[in-house]
Structure 1
Amino acid sequence: MQIPAIPANEIERLHVLRALAILDTQAEERFDRLTRIATRMFNVPIALVSLVDTNRQWFKSCMGLQVSETSRDISFCGHAILGNDTFVINDASKDPRFLDNPLVTAAPHIRFYAGRPIRTTHGFKVGTLCLIDSQPREFPARDIEDLDDLATMVESELAAIELATMDELTDLSNRRGFIMLTEKYLNYFSRHQLHASLVFLDLNDFKIINDTYGHDEGDRALQTFGKALKQMGRSSDIFARLGGDEFVILLACTREQEAHIVTQRLCNHLDMIRQQLRQPYKISFSQGIVEFDPQQPKSVDQLLLEGDTMMYQLKKASAALMGK
């Protein structure tokens, strides 16, 4: 059995997937409608909207299958997101990549598979709209075109979710998306007695960048900072742009002292980027770090307020020392 390779942009891809705040949510008619249409249009017993997470593929919509997820290692969709076109397997029992796959040798006894990658508005392939049959079959060009049309509808629904939960400029979560995701995380941390740290970030002298180099360059600075957050982070962390030049990170299973180490690594990474891009300005930030204690759990709003207050106090003290 061939295990799916990992995409070159995996870290960013996973951050975009998490920012959608769609994983482990309830079934929705707007997605179920499309998988129902797919089973009828192509006369297949199974149609899925599958999202490829770190170690699993999770089904946002699942027609004809009684499970909500499977391991990514045995997934067909993990292979499908590696390409740009519809991934078709006519008979998995005769394909050396899949013939001994547990999904082929046991239920649902996959023989035919067709999966069209599902992309976000910025082109990240987060999953597939896929068709499955227990019988081998052909899939001519006309069927591929029809599946592409349905997949485009799935992408339209994802785009609506993106608009509500993601920051368009940086591809990070927006405030609403961050709160939705973090509420789930904090409930999990409370149940399992895990610590975490919230880091409230505010860019230093961002107005000067805008005034000196223009708003387009200011936008590029925000994008550079957002990309640096994703590059330095883990797939288990949550990053968001709250608005303007304010950002926030939720570091899973991280104590306050460890969070300070993470922010220092971020400073070093920004300096390296500055040298590589030969930026005429420095991107730096002030921070407020608040630890989440599962013994005395706080809400997302409480953590944000405390982080913001701490960041402001430290920024004010730093400015006083520098005589600003």
Structure 2
Amino acid sequence: MIKPQFPKNEAERLHALRTLKILDTSHEERFDRVTRMAKRMFGVSISLVSIVDENRQWFKSSQGLDASETSRDISFCGHAINQDGLFIVPDTAKDERFFDNPLVTGAPNIRFYAGYPLKLRQGINIGTLCIIDTKPKNLDEEDQQLLQDLGAMIEQEIKSIQLATLDDLTMISNRRGFLTMVDHSLKVCRRNQIPMSFIFFDLNKFKSINDEYGHHEGDFVLVTFAQIMLNSFRDCDLIGRLGGDEFIAMLSDSDKAKADLALERFAIAIDEANETLNKPYKIQYSAGVRDFQHDTDRSIEEMIQDADAAMYEHKKSKVR
């Protein structure tokens, strides 16, 4: 058996997935309708909407399978998300990647698999619409187009969720998505009695980049800044774009020293990006930090406002 590899953008993929808040939600008719159609149209024993999490694949919709999840290490969908087109295994017994896979040698005895990677956007695949059978099977060109069409229907449903919580440009949390995730994280901090930090970011001279080089370059700066945030902060930290050129991060189990280290790491990453990109401008920003104890009486919005005020103090004193 060959385990599926992780995508190169795994951190970005997982962040987008978790921002959707789709994992471990109840079954929904809009997804079940499509898996029922797929199972019947292809005459297979199983059809699934499978979401690939960090260490598992979890089934948002399932026809013909009682399990709610399996390990990612043995998943077929873990392989499927590493490509953009259909992932088809006509006969698992003749495929060195799967012939001794426990899902093949034991229940549900997979002999045929075909999965359509579900995309949030190009390069971000969060799972599949897949069909599975206990007998080898081939899909002709018409069958493949049908599976793609059904997969596109699932993508549309997922994107309707995405629009509510993700920033369409940067693909990190928008204000609504960030506040939703912070509400949960704050409860964890209070329950475990751990402190937290909020960091408010504002891009400097951003308007001049738009004016001098065009909005395309401005969008590039926003996307790049968001990507550096994703790569610089811990997986457990929450990041978001509040709007315009304003970004926010919440660090759990954090105090002033830990927040300062995070900012130092982020500053190094920005400097490296500026040197590597070699643009006629530099990505510059101001940042404000505020630390809070688990039992603070400040609301989430008030903590963000406090970090915003600290950012303006920094902007006035020193422009980075």
Aligned residue number for residue 281 of structure 1: 281
**How many Å separate the matches in 1 of 2:25 and 2:297?**
23
Query: Which runs of 5 or more structure 2 residues have no equivalent in the other structure?
Result: none
- Flag the 1:3–1:255 CA change in 2: closer, same or farther, 3 A: farther
User: Could you tell me how far 1:139 is from its partner in structure 2?
Assistant: 3.0
Aligned residue number for residue 315 of structure 1: 315
Q: Percent identity at matched positions?
A: 49
**How many Å separate the matches in 2 of 1:295 and 1:66?**
42
User: Could you tell me how far 1:240 is from its partner in structure 2?
Assistant: 1.2
Please state whether the residue corresponding to 2:121 is helix, strand or coil.
coil
User: Could you tell me how far 1:305 is from its partner in structure 2?
Assistant: 2.8
Please state whether the residue corresponding to 2:149 is helix, strand or coil.
helix
**How many Å separate the matches in 2 of 1:51 and 1:150?**
16
Which segment drifts farther, 156-165 or 185-194? Answer: 185-194
**How many Å separate the matches in 1 of 2:103 and 2:186?**
34
Please state whether the residue corresponding to 1:275 is helix, strand or coil.
helix
**How many Å separate the matches in 2 of 1:40 and 1:186?**
45
Deviations 1:260-308 (A, max 9, x none): 1111121121112112222233322222333454455865334323322
- Flag the 1:285–1:49 CA change in 2: closer, same or farther, 3 A: same
Aligned residue number for residue 267 of structure 1: 267
Report the TM-score, using the length of structure 2 for normalisation. Answer: 0.88
Which segment drifts farther, 205-214 or 107-116? Answer: 205-214
User: Could you tell me how far 1:18 is from its partner in structure 2?
Assistant: 2.7
Aligned residue number for residue 225 of structure 1: 225
Over aligned residues, Cα RMSD in angstroms?
2.5
Q: How does 1:69-80 map to 2 (within 5 A)?
A: 69-80=69-80
Aligned residue number for residue 154 of structure 1: 154
- Flag the 1:305–1:62 CA change in 2: closer, same or farther, 3 A: farther
**How many Å separate the matches in 2 of 1:150 and 1:238?**
33
Aligned residue number for residue 114 of structure 1: 114
Aligned residue number for residue 18 of structure 2: 18
Q: Does 1:171 align with 2:174?
A: no
**How many Å separate the matches in 2 of 1:40 and 1:160?**
26
- Flag the 1:308–1:67 CA change in 2: closer, same or farther, 3 A: farther
Match for 2:8: what amino acid? A
Aligned residue number for residue 56 of structure 1: 56
**How many Å separate the matches in 1 of 2:315 and 2:281?**
19
Which segment drifts farther, 50-59 or 228-237? Answer: 228-237
Match for 1:25: what amino acid? T
User: Could you tell me how far 1:246 is from its partner in structure 2?
Assistant: 0.7
Query: Which runs of 5 or more structure 1 residues have no equivalent in the other structure?
Result: none
**How many Å separate the matches in 1 of 2:45 and 2:296?**
49
Contact 1:21 1:180 in 2 (8 A): no
User: Could you tell me how far 1:168 is from its partner in structure 2?
Assistant: 1.9
User: Could you tell me how far 1:84 is from its partner in structure 2?
Assistant: 2.5
**How many Å separate the matches in 1 of 2:160 and 2:67?**
26
Report the TM-score, using the length of structure 1 for normalisation. Answer: 0.87
Aligned residue number for residue 28 of structure 1: 28
**How many Å separate the matches in 2 of 1:287 and 1:271?**
15
Which segment drifts farther, 34-43 or 187-196? Answer: 187-196
Aligned residue number for residue 258 of structure 1: 258
Please state whether the residue corresponding to 1:13 is helix, strand or coil.
helix
Q: How does 1:76-155 map to 2 (within 5 A)?
A: 76-155=76-155
- Flag the 1:71–1:192 CA change in 2: closer, same or farther, 3 A: farther
Match for 1:41: what amino acid? M
- Flag the 1:140–1:214 CA change in 2: closer, same or farther, 3 A: closer
Please state whether the residue corresponding to 1:60 is helix, strand or coil.
strand
- Flag the 1:280–1:124 CA change in 2: closer, same or farther, 3 A: same
**How many Å separate the matches in 1 of 2:107 and 2:293?**
43
Please state whether the residue corresponding to 2:33 is helix, strand or coil.
helix
**How many Å separate the matches in 1 of 2:107 and 2:117?**
24
**How many Å separate the matches in 1 of 2:192 and 2:29?**
32
